[in-house]
Amino acid sequence: MRKLPPLNAVRTFEAAARHVSFTKAAEELLVTHGAVSRQVALLEDWFGVKLFRRAPSQLTLTAAGQIYYREVTAILDRLALASMDMKQYGSPSVLRVSAPPTFAMRWLIRRISSFQRMRADVELRLLTSIGPLNVNDRSFDVAIRGNVGEPVGWMSQHFMTELIAPVCHVDLLTRGRLATPDDLRHHTLITYLTEPYDWPRWLAQAGGEMSADQETLRFEQMFFALQATIERIGIGLFPLFLVIDELMAGQLCLPFGDLGLRKREYRSFYLADNESAGAIADFTAWLADAGRETEQFMMDWGTSKGWSF
């Protein structure tokens, strides 16, 4: 028998930790602020450990809360993916969405329930891929890719601008030698095959260059590179919207602040000549709204730190 904590309390904790706010978690889960507080307290009693520090004007995760949030997020993401895969055995009314795996796990899945509430008649099937788009591919209805410009043969709609920056665990700052980009030579630079903005390019724009003996660690996918960064192995270049939760929780940081930010567009690509055209239009409109909401959320957070985007 698995000894599991109250699962509704776990789901509530994840939402509260992701937003670092009981109020925003309550809005997402369609419950009251008090209900969120009670569920979190129930989970804390079950563990016998505090997960949040509560102050009159500020809510922060404890060290235990940060560890549990990281593990719970990964588990819920995997559960969501497995559950969406199972939906193919249900209703045949399916809208097939192709997206990169890390983007799907860390951004899309966490927001997709609002589209499902809006179009309960549409079953979403999420397909993950990092491959290039083929104009003759009819295995999906909507494909989400990071891209600058519009591929030939595709209709595209911009829905979010990426802000890419060096990201590291906060513990690396306490070790010193990260005052300027030149100090990166003392650290391992983490890279990955799908990297949208590579280190040589970033260093050149920051007024430096890649050292010939620079220590690097390369991964196939962004998800593994991000996990290595969380584990304090080195410093990676990541889109801000994919790491904003860890940044707000104080687990990760931008060692050079807003000076390290670089902009790049994300676009949605879609087919509009099939029987799901109505669902496609609704989904891409929802995607654009969700992208604007995320951009505003990041801007508000940056402004609170005195940054300029």
Q: What is the spatial distance between Cα 233 and Cα 133, in angstroms, rounded to a whole number?
A: 33
Tens digit of pLDDT for each residue in 51-92? 999 988 789 999 999 999 999 998 988 888 787 666 555 544
pLDDT band at 266 (very low <50, low <70, confident <90, very high): confident
Domain limits of the chain? 7-88, 93-151+270-301, 162-263
Q: How far out from the chain centre does Cα 116 lie?
A: 19
Tens digit of pLDDT for each residue in 220-249? 889 899 999 999 999 999 998 889 888 888
> Pick from 117, 285, 299, 14: which is nearest to 24 by CA?
14
Long-range contacts of 9-14 (CB under 8 A, 24+ apart): 9/39, 9/40, 9/42, 9/43, 9/46, 10/43, 10/72, 10/76, 11/76, 12/36, 12/39, 12/40, 12/43, 13/39, 13/40, 13/43, 13/51, 13/68, 13/69, 13/72, 14/69, 14/72, 14/73, 14/76
Structurally, at CATH architecture level, domain 93-151+270-301 sits in 3-Layer(aba) Sandwich (3.40)
What pLDDT is stored for residue 150 in this prediction?
Answer: 66
What pLDDT is stored for residue 176 in this prediction?
Answer: 66
More confident residue, 244 or 266: 244
Q: What is the spatial distance between Cα 276 and Cα 283, in angstroms, rounded to a whole number?
A: 10
What pLDDT is stored for residue 299 in this prediction?
Answer: 86
Q: Do domains 93-151+270-301 and 162-263 have the same CATH topology?
A: yes
Tens digit of pLDDT for each residue in 145-168? 877 566 667 778 888 888 889 999
What single-letter DSSP state applies at residue 37?
A: H
pTM over the 0.85 mark: no
Res 275 pLDDT > 90? no
Res 119 pLDDT > 70? yes
Rounded to 5°, the CA angle 211-216-219 comes to 145
Domain 7-88 has CATH 1.10.10.10: yes
What pLDDT is stored for residue 2 in this prediction?
Answer: 76
Tens digit of pLDDT for each residue in 123-142? 889 998 877 777 777 788 88
Q: What are phi and psi of 240, to 5 degrees?
A: -60, -40
What pLDDT is stored for residue 88 in this prediction?
Answer: 53
Domain 162-263: give its CATH superfamily. Answer: Periplasmic binding protein-like II (3.40.190.10)
pLDDT band at 49 (very low <50, low <70, confident <90, very high): very high
Mean pLDDT, the chain, rounded, equals: 85
**Of the ranges 2-6, 44-48, 73-77, the best mean pLDDT one:** 44-48
What pLDDT is stored for residue 25 in this prediction?
Answer: 92
**Residue 198: exposed, middle, or buried by beta-carbon count in 10 A (0-12, 13-18, 19+)?**
middle
What pLDDT is stored for residue 206 in this prediction?
Answer: 85
